[in-house]
Amino acid sequence: MDSLGIVINRKPEKRLVLGCNQNSILLASVLKYRGIPARVRFGHATYILPGFHLSHAICEVWNEDDKRWMLVDPSMDMVDFSHEKFDFSNDIWLKMLKGEIDPNLYGIPQKYTGLVSIVGKVCTDLASILGIEFPINQYAPILDEILLNNQLNSKHIETLTKISELMESIDADNLSILQDIYRNSPQIQLSKTFGVNIKTYENKNISVTKPVIEFVDIPEGKFIMGSPVIEHERKGDEIQHEVTLSGFKMSKYPITNEQYDLFCEATGRDKPRGREKGNFPVSQVTWYDADEFAKWMGGRLPTEAEWEYAARANTTTPFHTGECLTSEQANFNGKEPYKSCKKSEKRGKPMPVGCFSPNAFGLYEMHGNIWEWTNDWYGQYDVENTTDPKGPDNGETKVIRGGGWRNSASECRSAYRGEAFILLLKVPELASEL
């Protein structure tokens, strides 16, 4: 109605505030009172904001004639509409794990989007189908962890996945199992309360300033990807094969906090809770956010082959610096040098970008300082299709490259293949290269 909010001097007849969840609870209550099975479901609607999946609550109402559940949205006066127009929480969680959706298109714009919205809907949807009625400002403690760290641990992932799989068929047996999971999992119970802040959102013309990023032209060429069998501490997934690449551009430095903050301000994202700000490389960025940043800048994340080609810069040694890597050349754990190389400094923290000498292509910090996302899913190399190769079509983890300030020299090698879940389950210090 307006920005006044709920205050003492507001007249009683103007105090009623209804959202989609209250509307759905009210309808379900009336229907159940009349003997018609109905239940409230929480998920994301595709029909309210064009191109966006908005957090929303609707009803499932039993159609006795057809012996099926039909969808009813009392807030939008929609009855028996297509299931394709509403994303059930469990479906979206499973699709997100497979990398089939962009989670940043789910939630409430400029407020809560991505992982926090999707996990929140799994928890509220589960409570709802179990018959637990709750106020709109109740939430599960698991969301605190997401808001704080932008990540989940493997146990939480396992629990949410099991819940989502069971919710694909909500029969009596599955409901019993779901009830036990909810009862024995405090992290997903709606036990916490947040303050409600009523605001009026108005359309405003916002001038968006994009960061200035220096790009380097990487020439087309051929190189041997992977590592020779004699390379010290090589891994079995570093199979050597010749790769041919077209020319491309890559950012001269890792993306900084200052550059990424402009992206967050323009898109309504929460700024990552990294350490140092300004000219330090941005950390604690999910693959999805790194991918969106790249698209926002008119680019994309590099393929794994492009990254290694750019890092090597026409070298065939473990590092573009040669057989050894020192703390004067990169920021890594110098106490764990490569094979017989001398030990050097362990700084134990990230450094501003551009502190070390670039490689022959003019790229900085391709070894150490910050892990870097690539576009590819992790998998075995395709040694047959070697012209501008891309990774597998799907997978569980994305490839990360370059090593970070905590890592040994071996993990900073040009051929070393790291992997991380797209939601930051393994490696907390990640950035991106365009």
Give the CATH number for residue 340. Answer: 3.90.1580.10
Residues 433 and 402 in one domain: yes
Burial of 270 per CB tally in 10 Å (0-12, 13-18, 19+): middle
Per-residue confidence band for 149, with pLDDT thresholds at 50, 70 and 90: confident
Strands 78-81 and 418-420: what pairing?
A: unpaired
- Look at residue 199 in the predicted model and tell me its pLDDT: 39
Alpha carbons within 13 A on the beta-carbon side of 49: 11
pLDDT digit string (tens) for 53-110?
999 999 999 999 999 999 999 999 899 999 999 999 999 999 999 999 999 899 988 7
Residues 238 and 113 in one domain: no
Is pLDDT above 70 for 7?
A: no
Burial of 83 per CB tally in 10 Å (0-12, 13-18, 19+): exposed
Q: Average pLDDT of 311-323?
A: 98
Domain carrying residue 238: 205-434
Residue 198 within a domain: no
DSSP string, 63-111: ETTTTEEEEEETTTTEEEE-GGGEEEHHHHHHHHHTT-S-GGGEEETTT
Instruction: Report the SS3 class of residue 188.
Output: helix
Cα–Cα distance measured from residue 45 to residue 127, given in angstroms and rounded to the nearest whole number? 19
Is pLDDT above 60 for 134?
A: yes
Residues 406 and 268 in one domain: yes
- Look at residue 138 in the predicted model and tell me its pLDDT: 85
% of the chain exceeding 90 in pLDDT: 70
Residue 109 within a domain: yes
Residues 141 and 222 in one domain: no
- Look at residue 113 in the predicted model and tell me its pLDDT: 84
Q: Which residue has the higher pLDDT, 157 or 137?
A: 157
Residues 340 and 255 in one domain: yes
Q: Average pLDDT of 252-278?
A: 86
Is pLDDT above 80 for 38?
A: yes
Residues 151 and 245 in one domain: no
| 127-136, 218-227, 318-327: least confident range | 127-136
Q: Which residue has the higher pLDDT, 152 or 332?
A: 332
Residue 95 within a domain: yes
Is pLDDT above 50 for 299?
A: yes
Residue 80 within a domain: yes
Q: Cα–Cα distances in Å, from 65 out to 36, 68, 69?
A: 12, 8, 11
Residue 116 within a domain: yes
Residues 175 and 209 in one domain: no
Residues 100 and 231 in one domain: no
Length of the chain: 434
- Look at residue 431 in the predicted model and tell me its pLDDT: 62
Is pLDDT above 90 for 153?
A: no
Domain stop point among 173, 193, 213: 193
Alpha carbons within 13 A on the beta-carbon side of 5: 7
| 25-34, 184-193, 270-279, 373-382: least confident range | 270-279
Cα–Cα distance measured from residue 197 to residue 3, given in angstroms and rounded to the nearest whole number? 10
Alpha carbons within 13 A on the beta-carbon side of 94: 13
- Look at residue 208 in the predicted model and tell me its pLDDT: 62
Mean pLDDT is highest, among 111-125, 217-231, 275-289, for 217-231
- Backbone angles phi and psi of 87, in degrees to 5: -95, 110
Residues 47 and 183 in one domain: yes
Q: State how far Cα 178 lies from the chain centre.
A: 26
Residue 1 within a domain: no
- Look at residue 205 in the predicted model and tell me its pLDDT: 45
Domain stop point among 168, 193, 218: 193
Residues 60 and 135 in one domain: yes
Domain stop point among 193, 213, 246: 193
Residue 199 within a domain: no
- Backbone angles phi and psi of 358, in degrees to 5: -80, 170
| 189-193, 356-360, 376-380, 415-419: least confident range | 189-193
Q: Average pLDDT of 147-173?
A: 89
Residue 70 within a domain: yes
Number of domains in the chain: 2
The secondary structure of the chain in percent helix, strand, coil, rounded to multiples of 5, reads 25, 20, 55
Residues 151 and 297 in one domain: no
Contacts of 65 (CB under 8 A, 6+ apart): none
Is pLDDT above 60 for 346?
A: yes
pLDDT digit string (tens) for 175-221?
999 999 999 999 999 988 865 443 333 334 445 678 989 999 999 99
Instruction: Report the SS3 class of residue 430.
Output: strand
- Look at residue 267 in the predicted model and tell me its pLDDT: 80
Average pLDDT taken over every residue of the chain: 89
| Tokens, residue 296 | 């926002």
Residues 18 and 138 in one domain: yes
Is pLDDT above 90 for 5?
A: no
| 3-7, 18-22, 360-364: least confident range | 3-7
